Chains A and B, each alone.
Chain A
Amino acid sequence: MEFVLALAIGIMTGSGVWLILRPRTYQVIIGLSLMSYAVNLFIFGVGGVKSNAAPLLGEGVDIAALADPVPQSLVLTAIVIGFATTALFLVVLLAARGLTGTDHVDGREQPK
C-alpha cells in the first residue's frame, strides 16, 4: 500500500517538475496541479496510511483505530486553496497572454 502510494507521489512529482520547467504557461498550470496532488497525498500519508479505518466517531469505536483527522483537515483546506491558486494563475496566464500576445512564461518568445 505505502509502496504504491509513494510511487504514485514520486511519479506525479516528477511529471509536475518536468512541466513547471517548460516554457508554456499552460504546461506550468498543469504541472502545478499535478504537484499539488502529490503534495496533498504526501501530507495525508505522513499521518499514517490506514485503510478500512473508521473515519467518524461512533458508539464503540476505538479511538486508536480511527483515521488521523489532523492531516485530513490540513489537506482539505489545501485542496480548496489549491483550487483558488489554480484559478488565480489561470487568470494571470490569460491576462498575460492577452497583454503580451504570447503564452511563453516570460511574456516574450525566447530568441532562437
Chain B
Amino acid sequence: MTGETLLALLVCLPFLGSLAAAALLRTNSRVLAARMSGVVALAGLVMTAFLYPAVKRGPVRFEVEWLPQLGLDFTLRMDGLAWLFTMLITGIGLLVVVYARYYMSEEDPVPRFFSFLLAFMGSMLGIVLSGNIILLSVFWELTSIFSFLLISYWHHNAAARDGARMALTVTGIGGFCLLAGLLILGHIAGSYDLDAVLAAGDRIRAHPLYLTALVLILIGALTKSAQVPFHFWLPNAMAAPTPVSAYLHSATMVKAGVFLLVRLWPALSGTYEWFMLVGIAGISTLLLGAYFAMFQQDLKGLLAYSTISHLGLITTLLSLGSPVAAVAAIFHMMNHATFKCSLFMAAGIIDHETGTRDMRRLSGLLRYLPATGILAMVASAAMAGVPLLNGFISKEMFFAEAVETHADSFLDRILPYVATLAGAFSVAYSLRFIHVVFFGPPPVDLPKPEPHEPPRWMRFPVEFLVLACLVVGIIPGMSIGPFLHTAVVSVLGDRTPEYSLAVWHGINTPLIMSTIALVGGIALYAVLKDYLARCDDGPPLFRHLRGQRIFERVLVTVSWKWARWLESRLGTRNLQPQLRLVATAGLLAGVVPLYISGFSPRPPAFGEVDPVFAAIWLVGSVCAVGAAYQAKYHRLAALVLLGGAGISTCITFVWLSAPDLAITQLLVEIVTTVLILLGLRWLPKRSEKVDNSVALAARGRRFRDFLLAVGCGIGMFVFAYAIMKQPVPDAIASYFLERAYSEGGGRNVVNVILVDFRGFDTMGEICVLGIVALTVFALLRRFRPAPDSIEKPEQQLIQNAFDAERPERSAGDTVRDYLLVPSVIMQWMFPVVITFAVYIFMRGHDLPGGGFAAGITMAIAFLLQYLAGGVRWAEDRLRVLPLRWMGTGLLLAVATGVGAWLLGYPFLTSHARYVDLPLIGKAPVASALLFDLGVFSLVVGATVLILIALAHQSIRTHRVRAIEASKAEEA
C-alpha cells in the first residue's frame, strides 16, 4: 500500500469506526464498542509508524479534487510535524480508549461515547493532516462540534450542558474568525494550498491585510488553546467524562491552537505585531493560569488551569520568533501531552475510587492507592519541571529563550521574571496536588469509603505515559530526538537551528532560574498550605470575577435582549407591512438603476395599435381593475372578472403566435376557476354594510397602497414597453429552432424544448407539481372548517325547504335535479374529452399540444364527472387513483432518463424516429414521447388529487354533521 492511500485511510478510518460504533448503540455492550475503537486507534498508530520512513524523506501528499474552481481540494499532507502529532493523537487515543473502557459505567450509553470519541479523533487527524487551509478550517469546526458532544455526554447534568455550550460558543466564534483569516491568507498567497501559503511568507508579512488576517487567525488559535482572555471555557469543560478531559482538553484539541501557530509559523511569525499579540496573550496566560491553578479545590480544575498555563508557555515560546524557541514549543507540546494526560487519568482514578475530586475532602490516599500515587507523583514532578523528567528539559529550554532578549521591549525585559514566577507557581500547585491527595491523615467521610487500586488495565495507560516521561527525561536524544528533529526540519526548513536535548548543560542561568522556581515554589506552598486547605474555590480577588457569569451575561444581552430589541424595532409579524416592503423594494430596485443610468422612456407610437387587439385589452383591463375592486365583497364577481383577464391573456397568446401557450392557459384557466369555486364555500360571509365606518388611518393606508400599486403598474408599463421595443438579440432561439427537427424529431419547438432539450428542467417541474399536490392533500386531511361554514349553503336550504313543503317530493330531490340537462351532457362528454386529451397528447411533438395540456384536459374529464353527478355519484362509478397516476408518471419520466444511461448516453438523452402505424399513419415515436407520457400522467394525477381533495371536504362536513346529530339524539 502506498503512502498516499495510507494517509487517506488514516483520516477516514476513525469516521467509519464512529459510524460503526453508532450502529452498536442498541447492543449496549461497552466492551464491543471499546474494542472496536481500540482496534481503530491501534490501526491508526501502526499506519502512522509505517509512514515514518516516507515522511522523513519529505511530505507525503494525498490529493483529490473537490471544488477546484474555488481552489478547494481535499489535500492531505503529512510532514514531520504532522507525523509527530498524528502519533500523539492515535497513541494517546489508544490509551484513552483503554482507560475509558474501565472508566465508563454500565449505565452510560457507552457506544455513543466511543462513536463521538472516534469522530473527534478523525477530525483532529484532519486538522493536522490538512494540506489545504480551508479543509483545515472544516476539520477545525468538526473538532469544536465533537468536543461539544463529548463535554455534554452526561447531558442530564446542567453543568455539562452549560460547559459544552460555552465551549462551543467560544471555539465556534474562534473557528469563524479563523475561516475569515484563512480566506484572507489564501487571498494574499494566491492559493489555499498549505505549501503555497507557507512559501509566500514574505509576501504575506508585507501585505496591507496582514494584520487583519493575523488578528483573525489568532482569535481562532487562542480560543481553541484557551488563552487569556478566552480561557474561561476550559475549566467549565471539565464537566466532561475524565477520558475526554485527558484526551481533548489536555493532549489534543487544545493543542490544535498552538499547532496552528506552529504550522503557520513560517508564514506569519517574525513581525513586531506577531510578537506583541502572541506574546501578551502567552505571557498573561502563563502567569494567570499558574496563579489560578494554585487556588483550585477541584482536582480537574487545578489540572485545567495548569493546562492553560502550559499552553500559555508554548504560545509565549512561539511569540519569540526564534527558531530555537519554536523547537522548544514543539517539544513542550509533546511533553505536556504525556504528563498532563497521565495526571488527568490519575485524577479520574481518584474520582472513580473515592467519589469526589474536592481536595478539601481528600487526603492520605497513598495507603489505599500506592501505585497510582507513585505514578501521579512522577507525573506531577514532570509538570513541576523536576530534573530527569521530560518537563524539565523543555522548561529549561524555555528559560534559556526567556533570558535571551529578542526585541528591545517591555515584554522582553519582564519575561525572565515572569517565567521564573510562573515556574514557582507550577511547583506550588504540583506539590499541592500530591501533598493534599496522597499524604496526611486518612480521609474521613468519603462518598465511597473503601478506595482501592483500579483494575490492572485502567492503570496501564498512566503507567505507560509516566514511563514515557521518564524515558524522554533521562535519554531525550535517544528517544524522541530523531522524531523531534524531523518535525522541526519540516517547520523551519533551512532555518533549523543547532539545539541540544541534553539533560545537563552545566551550571547556567536557566538552571539557576529552575532552582529558584523549585525552592520558591516549595516555600510558597509551605506558606499558603493552611489557607488553601480551607479557602473557597478560586484565587483571592479573582474569585468573584467569574468568567462564566460574564460570558452568560454577554450571551443573554446579545442573543436575547439586543435581538429582541432589533426584532421589535425592525420586525413585524403582519403580512401587509412585509409585502408593502417587498413591493416598495421591487419598485425602487427597478426605478433607481434606470434613473442613475439616465434612462428616458420612449414616446409611445399610437399608429401601430391594432384596434381589435386594443379592444381585447380594454375588456381585459376593465376585468383586472374590476377584480381588484370587487375581491373584498363580491368574490364570485371577482373570480369571473379574473377569468376575463385570463381569457384576454389567452387570446393574446394566440394573437402573438404562441398556440401552445394559449391552449395551456385556457385549460389551466378552467381548472383554476373550478378550484377557487370549490374554495369559495369555506370563506366567511362578508357584506359591505359590516364596516362602513372607515377610520382615517385606514384611509391613509389605502391611499398609500393605492399610490404604491399605481407606481408599480406604471413602472411595469414603462419597463415592459421599453424592453419590448428593443431589438431582440438572437441568443439561443435559433439553436433550438435549427436542431428541434434534426435532433429532437419534432416540429413543435416549444414541446421539443420541454421534453427533450430541457427535459431535466421539466422533470424538476413535475416533481414540484407532485409535491404541491401531496402537500395540498396532507393539509386538507387535517382541515377543520370554521363553525360558520359548516351550515349547508343558503341555496340548498331553500331547495330542501321547497321539497319539504311538497308531499310528493323528498328532501334532496331539487338539489339532484338542479342543472340536470347540463349534467347529462357533461356525463356524455366523458369519452369525448378523453379522446381529445389523447389527441392533444399524440400531436404534441409536431403540433400545439403535449403532455401538460393533455394532462390537464384529462383531469378536466374527471372533474366534469364530479361536477355532473356529485362526489358520491362519481366515485361510485369511477375509481380514480391520483397517487397511482402521479407515481406512474414520475417513474416513467425517470425510467426514460435512466434508459439513456443504459444505452451509454447521459441522463434523459432522447431518441426519435417515425413509425408507420396501421390506420393512423406516420407517427413520431421518440423516447421523448415516453417522457411526455410521464409528464401527462403526473399532471393528471396532481390536478385530480388537488381538486378531489378539495371537493371531498363537503362530504366530510356532512359526516361531521351526522355525528353531531347522532350525539344530540343520544343525549
Contact = CB atoms under 8 A, between A and B. Distances in A.
Given A7-B617, A13-B716, A84-B942, A97 B628 contact: no
B657 A103 contact: no
B621 A40 contact: no
A57 B734 CA distance: 12
A85 B783 CA distance: 18
Q: Is the interface of A mostly helix, strand, loop or mixed?
A: helix
A44 B658 contact: yes
B587 to A, nearest CB: 9
Contact of A98 (B614, B676, B682): B682
A18 B679 CA distance: 22
A21 B638 contact: no
Interface in A64-95: 64, 66-70, 72-73, 75-77, 79-88, 90-95
B606 to A, nearest CB: 7
A76 B852 contact: yes
Nearest to B710: A14
B658 A55 contact: yes
B605 A3 contact: yes
Contact of A2 (B721, B846, B848): B721
A70 B736 contact: yes
A71 to B, nearest CB: 9
B652 interface: yes
A97 B684 CA distance: 8
B595 to A, nearest CB: 18
Nearest to A68: B733
B155 interface: no
A12 B659 CA distance: 22
Nearest to A56: B747
Interface in B727-745: 728, 731-734, 736-738, 740-741
Interface centre among A40, A66, A94 (most CB of B within 10 A): A94
Contact of A6 (B717, B750, B846, B847): B717
Contact of B765 (A47, A81, A87): A81
A52 B631 CA distance: 36
B737 A20 contact: no
Interface residues of B, number: 118
Interface in B645-684: 645-646, 648-649, 652-653, 655-661, 664-665, 668, 671-672, 675-676, 679, 682-684
Interface string A44-59: 1111111111111110
Contacts of B951: none
B724 A70 contact: no
A42 B773 CA distance: 27
A56 B749 contact: yes
Interface stretch (B235-243, B570-578, B814-822): B570-578
B656 A21 contact: no
A54 B657 contact: yes
Given A2-B724, A51-B657, A21 B620 contact: no
Contacts of B166: none
Interface in B776-817: 776, 779-780, 782-787, 789
Contact of B621 (A8, A26, A55, A95): A8
Contact of B783 (A2, A52, A95): A95
A3 to B, nearest CB: 5
B258 to A, nearest CB: 55
20 contacts: A3-B608, A6-B716, A8-B617, A9-B716, A10-B713, A11-B625, A21-B576, A30-B628, A30-B638, A37-B645, A38-B716, A51-B656, A56-B749, A57-B748, A76-B754, A86-B675, A95-B782, A95-B783, A97-B789, A99-B784
Interface of B: 573-576, 579-580, 583, 604-606, 608-610, 613-614, 617, 620-621, 624-625, 627-628, 631-632, 635, 638-639, 642, 645-646, 648-649, 652-653, 655-661, 664-665, 668, 671-672, 675-676, 679, 682-684, 686, 695, 705-706, 708-710, 712-718, 720-721, 723-725, 728, 731-734, 736-738, 740-741, 747-750, 753-754, 758, 761-762, 765, 768-769, 772-773, 775-776, 779-780, 782-787, 789, 846-848, 852, 856, 939, 942-943, 946, 949-950, 953
Given A15-B625, A75-B658, A85-B772, 11 more contacts: A9-B717, A19-B628, A21-B580, A22-B576, A56-B747, A56-B846, A57-B748, A77-B754, A88-B776, A91-B776, A106-B573
The 10 A-B pairs at the shortest CB distance, nearest first, are namely A14-B713, A10-B717, A6-B721, A18-B709, A48-B728, A15-B628, A69-B749, A67-B657, A13-B716, A84-B772
